[in-house]
Amino acid sequence: MLYVVIKAMISGAIIAAVSEIAKRSPGVGALVASLPLVSVLGMIWLWRDTQDRVLMASHAGATFWFVLPSLPMFLLIPALLGRNVPFWLALGAGCLLTILLYLGLVCLGPRLGLRL
């Protein structure tokens, strides 16, 4: 249980750090947020827990494919905010777009030979 709490605290500290950095410098905050820190931490935790090369390779490959559908959200949100759409609506639209693209990937990916 302590291990889970430590993982949560480290992961939460990264999120808190990103928001604090972004308050001072949006560009630097965006840079830190764009780093695959969550993915790297997830891989570290997974490796520590399993040391399974096949599982790790599968996880890393699937992560690549799942990053792609999330990217348009980062174009839609600033476009909507630039048109004076309220933040929560823009965020919701970005999340909805990402969910739809994830569903598309999950449905089409295996047909295209992707192992997700």
Distance CA 68, CA 82 (A): 23
Residue 36: what pLDDT?
87
pTM for the model stands at 0.75
- Condensed to tens digits (0 to 9), the pLDDT of residues 32-85 reads 888 888 889 889 999 999 999 999 999 999 999 999 999 999 999 999 999 999
Distance CA 114, CA 116 (A): 6
Residue 105: what pLDDT?
95
- Delimit the domains of the chain by residue range: 52-116
Residue 48: what pLDDT?
94
Distance CA 28, CA 17 (A): 11
